[in-house]
């Protein structure tokens, strides 16, 4: 895991070098790999150099690493088998041959090194000497200071085994540099050929929802957006159209009738401005035989309370119930007929008795009355004497 990485470098094979400042090491991540290996500093499997807060890592054309070892106040370079210090190897100070917490470094086309030293508020340039055949090569260092300050220079030496240069000729223009330096294109263009505009609208699509991006250097953002109808916002990101994805509910279709109004075409079972009300199909339906209407999605159903009824409206009666109803009706008619006959019999008796003086029940009534009187006659009292016999 990285800890406060400060610098990266990508080589021609798309391998990534990372200056892992907090872990005091340089990590190498191969192309398409998420796990890195330590190539310099702590936790390296091979013999390297001790680093303390590396901030920059650069790989040259010969596969050599240049590392800004910030807290050790130096710049180191790798060879095939070892690492060597090339700049700031004699302690730390503001002297021109020493470094004080360097932060960044870069090469120019001639192999000269530029180093930023924030603590000293300066940028140092270390010149590559190409006319020496001795075991040591001279590099001149100049110190550039802010305006109203003096400029000084001096000569320092270091072992040439720590700095390899491709084959040189007597012509300076023939020096083969392993370093790539971007051309200076000014403020309006970028790219290898300075043919890419730096205007915001030319570099990326800033306006959303088919808005038109217009470069405008008079405002802070450097551009403004001409939005399509129904959109606004600095990047046309606000959608004010009447028809949104949630305007019409329940699969309704939204039709925009003007810039601010809409109409929802609802499915057959829904009504309302937003198709939010389900139609009650039971509102005008009557279920027979005490059936209960149950609304469904786009339809209705009568729930019959007894198995004796069926059908859409519970109007179909089962055969068993029909038989029971017929028997019950017939029995009721017989009862009515019997009651009617009895009533007619008593009416006829009254007509014969009171209209014609004929009382068919007179003799029978007298016999009944006579029997009643005989039952009410008490027998005469009798004296009974009990005799005891020994």
Q: What is the CA radius of gyration of the chain?
A: 58
Measured CA to CA, the distance from residue 75 to residue 117 in angstroms comes to 12
Q: Torsions phi, psi of 338, nearest 5?
A: -65, -45
Q: Pick from 101, 98, 147, 103: which is nearest to 126 by CA?
A: 98
Q: Pick from 45, 46, 58, 61: which is nearest to 87 by CA?
A: 58
Q: Residue 180's pLDDT is what?
A: 54
CATH code that applies to domain 5-174: 2.40.10.500
Chain mean position to CA 11:
37
Q: Identify the sign of the CA torsion 61, 63, 66, 67.
A: positive
Measured CA to CA, the distance from residue 116 to residue 105 in angstroms comes to 6
All residues at 6 or more sequence positions from 305 whose CB lies less than 8 Å from its CB, including other chains: 289, 290, 291, 292, 314
Measured CA to CA, the distance from residue 229 to residue 106 in angstroms comes to 50
| The residue count for the chain | 390
Q: Map out the domains of the chain as residue ranges.
A: 5-174, 197-239, 245-279, 281-323
Question: Is CATH 1.25.40.10 the classification given to domain 281-323?
Answer: no
Name the β-bridge partners of 116.
104, 123
Topology annotation, domain 197-239: Laminin (2.10.25)
Q: Residue 341's pLDDT is what?
A: 94
Chain mean position to CA 132:
65
Q: Residue 181's pLDDT is what?
A: 57
> Is-same-fold flag (197-239; 245-279)?
yes
Q: Residue 129's pLDDT is what?
A: 60
Q: Are 231 and 238 in contact (CB under 8 A)?
A: yes
> pLDDT digit string (tens) for 76-86?
998 777 888 88
pTM: 0.38
**Parts of the chain with a pLDDT under 50:** 131-179
Q: How close are the terminal C-alpha atoms of the chain, in Å?
A: 140
All residues at 6 or more sequence positions from 133 whose CB lies less than 8 Å from its CB, including other chains: none
Measured CA to CA, the distance from residue 162 to residue 167 in angstroms comes to 16
By the 10 Å C-beta count (0-12 exposed, 13-18 middle, 19+ buried), 389 is classed as: exposed
Topology annotation, domain 245-279: Laminin (2.10.25)
Measured CA to CA, the distance from residue 216 to residue 379 in angstroms comes to 144
Q: Are 276 and 270 in contact (CB under 8 A)?
A: yes
Q: What residue has token string 């002297």?
A: 95
């Amino acid at each position: 895991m990285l800890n406060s990485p400060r610098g990266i470098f990508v080589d021609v094979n798309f391998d990534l070098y990372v200056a892992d400042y907090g872990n005091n090491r340089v990590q190498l991540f191969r192309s398409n790999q998420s796990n890195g290996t330590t190539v310099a500093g702590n936790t390296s499997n091979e013999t390297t150099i001790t680093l303390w807060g590396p901030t920059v890592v650069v790989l040259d054309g010969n596969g050599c690493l240049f590392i800004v070892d910030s807290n050790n106040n130096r710049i180191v370079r790798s060879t095939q088998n070892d690492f060597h210090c090339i700049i700031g190897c004699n302690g730390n100070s503001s002297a021109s041959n020493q470094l004080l917490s360097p932060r960044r470094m870069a090469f120019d086309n001639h192999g000269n090194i530029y180093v930023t030293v924030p603590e000293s508020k300066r940028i140092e340039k270390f010149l590559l000497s190409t006319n020496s055949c001795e075991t040591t090569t001279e590099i001149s260092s100049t110190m550039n200071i802010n305006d109203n300050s003096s400029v000084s220079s001096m000569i320092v030496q270091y072992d040439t085994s720590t700095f390899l240069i491709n084959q040189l000729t007597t012509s300076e223009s023939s020096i083969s540099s392993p370093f790539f330096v971007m051309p200076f294109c000014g403020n309006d263009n970028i790219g290898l050929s300075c043919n890419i505009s730096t205007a915001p609208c030319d570099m990326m699509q800033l306006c959303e929802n088919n808005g038109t991006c217009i470069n405008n250097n008079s405002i802070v953002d450097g551009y403004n957006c001409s939005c399509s109808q129904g959109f606004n916002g600095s990047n046309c990101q606000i959608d004010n159209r009447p028809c949104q994805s949630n305007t019409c509910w329940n699969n309704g279709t939204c039709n925009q009738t003007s810039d601010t109004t809409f109409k929802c075409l609802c499915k057959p079972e829904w009504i309302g401005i937003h198709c939010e009300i389900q139609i009650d199909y039971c509102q005008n339906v009557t279920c027979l035989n005490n059936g209960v209407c149950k609304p469904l999605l786009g339809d209705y159903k009568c729930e019959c309370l007894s198995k004796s009824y069926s059908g859409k409206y519970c109007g179909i009666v089962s055969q068993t119930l029909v038989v029971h109803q017929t028997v019950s009706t017939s029995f009721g008619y017989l009862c009515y007929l019997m009651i009617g006959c009895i009533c007619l019999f008593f009416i006829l008796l009254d007509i014969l008795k009171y209209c014609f003086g004929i009382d068919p029940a007179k003799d029978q009534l007298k016999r009944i009355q006579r029997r009643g009187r005989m039952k009410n006659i008490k027998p005469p009292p009798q004296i009974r004497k009990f005799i005891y016999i020994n």
